[in-house]
Amino acid sequence: MAEFDDNPSSVQDSLQQVTELLLRRRQLLSQRPDVSHPRQVEELLDKQDSTALQLKLDQLHPADVAYILEAMPLDERLIVWDLIKADRDGDILLEVSDAVRETLIAHMDERELVAATGQLDTDEIADLAPDLPREVMQDVFRALSVEEREQLRAAMSYPEDAVGALMDFDMITVRDDITVEVVLRYLRRLDEMPDHTDQLFVVDRQEHLKGLLPVNRLLVTDPDIVVAAVMGQEYVKFQPDEKAQDAALAFERYDLVSAPVVDADDKLIGRVTVNTVVDFIREETDSEKLSAGGLREEEDLFASVWSSVRNRWTWLAINLVTAFIASRVIGAFEGSIGKLVALAALMPIIAGIGGNSGNQTITMIVRALALGQINSSSARKLFVKEIGVSLINGLIWGGVVGLFAFFIYHSWQLGLVMTGAMFLNLLLAALMGVTIPLVMHKLGRDPAVGSSVLITAITDSGGFFIFLGLATVFLVGR
Amino acid sequence: MAEFDDNPSSVQDSLQQVTELLLRRRQLLSQRPDVSHPRQVEELLDKQDSTALQLKLDQLHPADVAYILEAMPLDERLIVWDLIKADRDGDILLEVSDAVRETLIAHMDERELVAATGQLDTDEIADLAPDLPREVMQDVFRALSVEEREQLRAAMSYPEDAVGALMDFDMITVRDDITVEVVLRYLRRLDEMPDHTDQLFVVDRQEHLKGLLPVNRLLVTDPDIVVAAVMGQEYVKFQPDEKAQDAALAFERYDLVSAPVVDADDKLIGRVTVNTVVDFIREETDSEKLSAGGLREEEDLFASVWSSVRNRWTWLAINLVTAFIASRVIGAFEGSIGKLVALAALMPIIAGIGGNSGNQTITMIVRALALGQINSSSARKLFVKEIGVSLINGLIWGGVVGLFAFFIYHSWQLGLVMTGAMFLNLLLAALMGVTIPLVMHKLGRDPAVGSSVLITAITDSGGFFIFLGLATVFLVGR
């Protein structure tokens, strides 16, 4: 196993130690302004302290170094990056987030980048490729064998959310007409087996996949038995253009460690392993969380102010447009508000609770759609259920806000209008909360993106319109 | 491998088929009201059709059956559940969500429940235990061996978010003074190895963990070598009361398939495997998504209206309180609004964009806190950055909303007040967006829960106060 500390929570201790070493280094540098040859002293100090730092960094797992780099402001991050041995650069670049990777790559020259890829497998180079300058990729290609070039081209040809992008090529294949004994002898000739090899892939001469041979079954099987007799013939396999999301669900459901990837002719072209799937799941849920929070993409924690502004402006702009629309809806009722100012104080309640309730419905539906659990017959049942929920909520919360309005403004008519508006806006929220994601799904778009903004816009403007409209008709209009 | 269809997307086809079989069954039942002995016919039809359904269900992996059960309305779900062979009940109960599991268990009698646990390992029984009636658990305990009882008690003693709750007891242990040859001979005597056995655990006579022996290394090592010479001695291990979240991060970082769990004396007491970790990650992100959407817990898609209302009322109530507060803030400025009605139409813009921007900041900070990437020195840098972002956003969006107000109401004073209020509310959002999660973290609470509601409440009430306050001072007050 790798040479890293055996306690996972020690990563944070390591971060602390590295930060302290950096701090000490800076203090030493600043405390000696009176020395005659400051340059030389600086260099010396630099060297001493860097050695301690370097020792610490060398002991850490690439993933831990990546973690530390991400937790550091840009200037310190680059000092640490320079201290890392060149032969670990590639592994660490693979582990850091896209945003931080950009800052590190921008700091490296062409030669360093080519060297960094030297230690990597072709599927790993493919992961880095989008961030590498074109000239670097040309040099990288030149350094590869013909087979590797083909693998790299294949791996780079799939979109990020396809199985092909998760695939690696580290699989061991065997024929089905040999005995377990021969397989064991073959394996023993290897120095080591690829990570996550829980099964061997049984193929024919044309590389067509015929079965899977779990390594653990090898160990408990009589060596004289032929592979064909012990291999599994029912198994999960993927095609490279399938959705990575589907593969992730299959790994979860069937508790897989690895699975074969085949082409349309059932020829084995690669495999997917659980560690890649775990990373994919984490990245995916991460990016969902970020977009739910209104961020366009993952943001380097210490990104420059300007790049943060750019990362956030899209959602702010969209929300501004919906806010402008809501504002004009209110503007249309300025006459009523002028006559009954209480309306201005009460209207945000109707809009706010409507948005809240609509988002609850949408969360449910989006989740069920993502799992593929909704078909046309169950959709009708869901409508009925959500409308039922909104009717009950309308009575309960409508009653509460009606009482609130009555106690503050001592007008039972105003209270009734509040209750009615709340009731109607919750009904609107339920209808739209089911309809929006279903329609987006039908149109082939991801209902997780934008549904929430849309429902909030509708329950805001709708809520203002319903409440001010009812008030105009029943309270001020006549 | 298990006997399930080899294409993962076929789960949805299976769902479709099961639904159709159920539908046909119902149609047949309803088409023959004129038969003399309707009861008998019904029973016969029932049997015929049930056989087709049963055949289909028997072919499916437990996880796929669970998926189908979750996607079905309650009445159909129970029909399907009754058709499933009793010896698969336990495995399927483990796979369904908590909410659906409750509906299934409520439909089973004591005897069936005890039988369902009969096929399960002790760590699996522990997962079901919270949902089982007390009498059932007593019967289950009685049926176990002394060792199993102790395992079950241990597994049940850990909270859901501790490593102990993820642990199983299916590990193979060996001594370090035997040769690889002996290990291989020992393994060959087993019928099969436990799932996810990527390594054997090397222990001494007192069960103290001394090292790990990867199965793959067994296969490539000279059989005459002693275990002590090939085992790995640097590895990740957990204690049962560690946070499951930390274990999940370690599995992700170090690409683990299994890892040992030891007690304070370094005695081996269990192991964690990657499939459990994947399930944990999925459940955790799922519940984060649900609570972000304002749902208290996972909701059965076809839950009764009433239980849905209960699942959603907490967040609606909290939001109602914050809406009431905001409403009273506006109420305090009714005099100003009465004089200048445009304020009512413009104020939601200030509040809305402030909330949006605050949530962007909070999303960033909560994520960094969850990863442990923030310490006191970086916290200061984050404050500076977020304030910088809010100043720029304040200028940009403040300018835009100011122009909007000017063009609609032809008052440059109103436009300036809008710009100023936007600027100040975005600054408030940035300050609170960093402060709230940091303070919650310091107080030992999970900043992911409630931060968003809190920031929205502050930027709503704060935004109304800032905007109406500025307007009162500069536009109407004097």
CB B121 within 8 A of CB B151: no
Whether residue B74 has pLDDT greater than 60: yes
Q: Is the pLDDT of residue A111 over 70?
A: yes
Distance in Å, alpha carbon of B76 to nearest chain A alpha carbon: 11
Q: Confidence class of residue B23 from pLDDT cuts 50, 70 and 90?
A: confident
The residues with which A162 forms a beta bridge, in sequence order, are A243
Q: Contact at 8 Å (CB) between A90 and B394?
A: no
Per-residue pLDDT band for A4 (boundaries 50, 70, 90) equals: very low
H/E element holding B245? helix B244-254
At residue B240, φ and ψ (nearest 5 deg) are -65, -20
Contact B331 A342 (CB under 8 A): yes
Q: What pLDDT score was predicted for residue B236? A: 92
Confidence of residue B101 (pLDDT cuts 50, 70, 90): very high
Q: Which amino acid belongs to residue A392?
A: I
Tell me which DSSP letter residue A193 carries: P
Spell out which residues of chain B touch residue A322, defining contact as CB-CB under 8 Å. 352
Between chains, do A388 and B305 touch, taking CB under 8 Å as contact? yes
pLDDT in tens, B196-246: 999 999 999 999 999 999 999 988 888 899 999 999 988 999 999 999 988
Q: Is the pLDDT of residue B36 over 70?
A: no
Q: Is the pLDDT of residue A379 over 70?
A: yes
Quickly list H helices, A118-175.
122-128, 134-143, 146-156, 163-166
Contact B315 A356 (CB under 8 A): yes
Cα Rg of chain B (Å, integer): 31
| pLDDT value of residue A1 | 33
Alpha-carbon distance of B113 to B42, in angstroms, equals 28
* Amino acid, single-letter form, for residue A183: V
Residue B464 has, within 13 A of its CA and on its CB side, a CA count of: 28
Q: Does domain B10-166 have CATH number 1.25.60.10?
A: yes
Instruction: Tell me phi and psi for residue B341, to 5 degrees.
Output: -65, -25
**If pLDDT is split at 50, 70 and 90, which confidence band does A186 have?**
very high
Cβ count within 10 A of residue B220: 16
A157, pLDDT greater than 80 = yes
What gap in Å lies between CA A257 and CA B414, rounded to an integer?
63
Disruptive mutation site among A18, A291, A295, A305 for chain B (greatest number of B CBs within 10 Å): A305
What the block records as the tokens of A138 is: 């040309």
Hey, of B210, B274, B371, B377, which one would you mutate to test binding to chain A, going by the most A CBs within 10 A of its CB?
Answer: B274
B15: distance to nearest CA of chain A, Å? Answer: 9
Asked if B19's CB is within 8 angstroms of A377's CB, the reply is yes
Choose the closest CB to A323 out of B253, B349, B371: B349
Q: Using CB atoms, which residue from B251, B305, B343 is nearest to A278?
A: B251
* Residue A45: band (very low, low, confident or very high) from pLDDT cuts 50, 70, 90: low
* A343 contacts in chain B (CB < 8 Å): 344
β-sheet bridge partners, residue B202: B174, B211
Q: Find the helix or strand (DSSP H, E) in which B297 lies.
A: none
Closest CA to A231 of A307, A173, A273: A173
Question: CA-CA distances (angstroms) from residue B466 to A453, B418, B420, B423?
Answer: 25, 10, 9, 10
Domain formed by B173-292, architecture? Roll (3.10)
Contact A352, B348 (CB under 8 A): no
Q: The tokens of B96 are what?
A: 């369904």
Quote the mean pLDDT of chain B: 87
Select the residue of B282, B364, B397 nearest A252 (Cβ to Cβ): B282
Residue A467 has pLDDT above 80, yes or no: yes
Residue A172's contacts (CB-CB under 8 Å, 6 or more residues apart) are: A187, A190, A193, A194, A197, A200, A201
**% helix / strand / coil in chain B, to the nearest 5?**
70, 5, 25
A226 - beta bridge partners? A179
| ipTM (interface pTM) | 0.82
User: Measured at the alpha carbon of residue B358, what is the angle toward residues B354 and B364, in degrees to the nearest 5?
Assistant: 155
Which residues have a Cβ under 8 Å from the Cβ of B82 and sit 6 or more positions away?
none
**Rounded CA separation B283/A136 (Å):** 41
pLDDT on residue A38: 47
Are B292 and A294 in contact (CB < 8 Å)?
no
Interface probe with B: pick from A124, A187, A284, A363, most Cβ of B within 10 Å: A363
On the question of pLDDT at A32 being above 90, the answer is: no
The model's pLDDT over B315-337, given as tens digits with 9 standing for 90+, comes to 889 999 999 999 999 999 999 99
pLDDT tens digits along B148-175: 999 899 888 998 889 999 999 999 999 9
Q: Which neighbouring-strand residues pair with A259?
A: A272
Cβ(A450)–Cβ(A359) below 8 Å? no
- Structure confidence at residue B42 (pLDDT): 53
Q: In this predicted model, what pLDDT tens digit does every residue of B411-454 receive, in sequence order?
A: 999 999 999 999 999 999 999 999 999 999 999 888 877 788 89
Instruction: Show the tokens assigned to A108.
Output: 């490296």
What is the predicted pLDDT for the residue at A91?
92
Residue A6 is inside which H or E element, if any?
none
β-strand pairing of A199-203 with A209-214: antiparallel
Does position B1 have pLDDT exceeding 50, yes or no?
no
At residue B39, the pLDDT reads 55
Where are the alpha helices (H) located in B118-166, listed in sequence order? Answer: 122-128, 134-143, 146-156, 163-166
Q: Would the CA dihedral through B47, B48, B49, B50 be positive or negative?
A: positive
- Read off the pLDDT of each residue in B381-386 and give the average, rounded to a whole number: 88
* pLDDT band of B49, cuts 50, 70, 90: low
For residue B131, with 0-12 CB atoms within 10 Å meaning exposed, 13-18 middle and 19 or more buried, which class applies? middle
* CA gap A318, A310 in Å, rounded: 14
- Between A296 and B195, the higher pLDDT residue: B195
Residue A19 is predicted with a pLDDT of: 79
CB-closest option in B6, B285, B460 to A285: B285
φ/ψ of residue A315, rounded to 5? -65, -35
- Share of residues in chain A with pLDDT > 90 (%): 50
Residue B177 has pLDDT above 90, yes or no: yes
A388 contacts B305 by C-beta, under 8 angstroms: yes
Residue B52 has a pLDDT of 78
pLDDT value, residue B412 = 92
Mutate to test the interface with B, among A124, A168, A276, A356 (most CBs of B within 10 A): A356
Under 8 Å between Cβ of B278 and A251: yes
**3-state DSSP assignment of residue B168:** strand
Predicted pLDDT at A411: 92
Q: In this structure, which CATH number among 3.30.420.40, 3.10.580.10, 3.40.50.2300, 3.40.1190.20 belongs to the domain A173-274?
A: 3.10.580.10
Lowest mean pLDDT among A45-54, A135-144, B10-19: A45-54
Q: Which of A85-99, A147-161, A396-410, B38-52 has the lowest mean pLDDT?
A: B38-52
Among the residue ranges A7-11, A117-121, A352-356, B282-286, the one predicted with the least confidence is: A7-11
To the question of domain A305-476 being in CATH 1.10.357.20, the answer is yes
How far does the CA of residue A152 sit from the closest CA of chain B (Å)? Answer: 23
> What's chain B's length in residues?
478
Q: Which of A313, A341, A331 is nearest to B414 (CA)?
A: A331
Instruction: Report angle CA B50, B54, B58 to the nearest 5 degrees.
Output: 180
Is residue A244 pLDDT above 50, yes or no? yes
Could you tell me the pLDDT band of residue A28, with boundaries at 50, 70 and 90? low
Q: If you average pLDDT over residues A448-468, what whole number do you get?
A: 90
The residues pairing with B268 across neighbouring beta strands, listed in sequence order, are B262
Nearest Cα of chain B lies from the Cα of A142 at a distance, in angstroms, of 31
| Contact criterion met (CB below 8 Å) for B152 and B141 | yes
A399 burial type by CB count under 10 A (0-12 exposed, 13-18 middle, 19+ buried): middle
Residues of B in contact with A250 (CB under 8 A): 8
Nearest residue on chain A to B242, alpha-carbon basis? A9
Query: Which pLDDT tens digit goes with each residue over B347-377?
Result: 999 999 999 999 999 988 988 888 777 877 7
Shortest Cα distance, chain B CAs vs residue A404, angstroms:
8
Q: What is the pLDDT of residues A249-289, one digit of tens each?
A: 899 989 999 999 999 999 999 999 999 999 999 888 888 88
In chain B, what residues touch A400 (CB-CB under 8 Å)?
320
Contact A455, A436 (CB under 8 A): yes
**For testing the chain B interface, which of A94, A245, A290, A330 should be mutated: the one with the most B CBs within 10 Å?**
A330
How close B2 comes to chain A (CA, Å)? 7
Coil, strand or helix at B213 = strand
Query: Is residue B265 over pLDDT 80?
Result: yes
Nearest chain A alpha carbon to B402: A324
Cα four-point dihedral sign B95, B98, B104, B110:
positive
CA–CA separation, A364 and A390 (whole Å): 14
- Which chain A residue has the Cα nearest residue B361? A293
Question: Is this structure's pTM higher than 0.80?
Answer: yes
Element (H, E) at A75: helix A74-83
Q: Are B309 and B108 in contact (CB under 8 A)?
A: no
User: Which comes out higher in pLDDT, residue A117 or A448?
Assistant: A117
Q: DSSP strand E in A23-176: where?
A: 173-174
- Confidence band of A39 (pLDDT split at 50, 70, 90): low
At A2 the pLDDT is 35
Q: A189: buried, middle or exposed (CB in 10 Å: 19+, 13-18, 0-12)?
A: exposed
Residues of B in contact with A373 (CB under 8 A): 15, 67, 70-71, 301
Selecting from A67, A220, A378 the residue whose C-beta is nearest the C-beta of B191 gives: A220
How many Å apart are CA B119 and CA B114, to the nearest integer?
10
Q: How confident is the model at residue A188 (pLDDT cuts 50, 70, 90)?
A: confident
| Pair B402, B419: CB distance under 8 Å | yes
Nearest Cβ partner for B385 among A2, A308, A460: A308
CA angle B115, B120, B239 (to 5 degrees): 145
Picking from A286, A352, A362, the nearest residue to B323 by CB comes out as A352
User: What number is the average pLDDT over the span A308-328?
Assistant: 89
DSSP element (H, E) containing B9: none
Contact B301 A328 (CB under 8 A): no
What Å distances lie between residue B243 and A274, B240, B246, B440, CA to CA?
22, 8, 5, 19
Residue pair B151/B200 in contact (Cβ under 8 Å)? The answer is no
Q: Which residues of A touch B13 (CB under 8 A)?
A: none
Residue A42's pLDDT is 53
What distance in Å separates the CA atoms of residue B228 and residue B268, rounded to the nearest whole number? Answer: 17
For helices A62-70 and B244-254, angle between their N-to-C axes, nearest 10 degrees: 110
Mean pLDDT of A96-117: 90
> B interface mutation test: which of A312, A425, A451 has the most B CBs within 10 A?
A312
Interacting residues of B39 by C-beta distance below 8 A, sequence separation 6+: none
Mean pLDDT, residues A215-235: 91
State the pLDDT at residue A155.
87
Whether residues B252 and A196 touch (CB distance < 8 A) is answered with no
Query: What gap in Å lies between CA A65 and CA A58, rounded to an integer?
Result: 9
CB contact (8 A) between residue B348 and residue A368: no
**What residues of chain A lie within 8 A of the CB of B236, using their CB?**
6-8
Stretch B36-54: mean pLDDT, rounded? 62
To the nearest whole number, what is the mean pLDDT of chain A? 87
Chain A residues closer than 8 Å to B61 by CB: 253-254
> Pick from A305, A360, A382: which is nearest to B312 by CB?
A360
CA distance B406 to A27: 53
Query: From the list A323, A349, A353, which residue is nearest B353 (CB)?
Result: A323
What are the sequence ranges of the domains in chain B? 10-166, 173-292, 305-476
* Residue B426 one-letter amino acid: L
Would the CB atoms of A372 and B12 count as touching at under 8 Å?
Answer: yes
Three-state secondary-structure class, residue A2: coil
DSSP category for residue A107:
T
pLDDT at B387 over 60: yes
Distances (CA, A) of A125 to A166, A262, A278, B472: 12, 21, 19, 61
- pLDDT at res. A46: 63
What pLDDT does A376 receive? 76
Q: H-helix or E-strand containing A415? A: helix A412-442
A63 contacts B254? CB cut-off 8 A? yes
Which contiguous run of DSSP H or E holds residue A188? Answer: helix A180-188
Residue A43 is predicted with a pLDDT of 60
First to last CA, chain B: 82
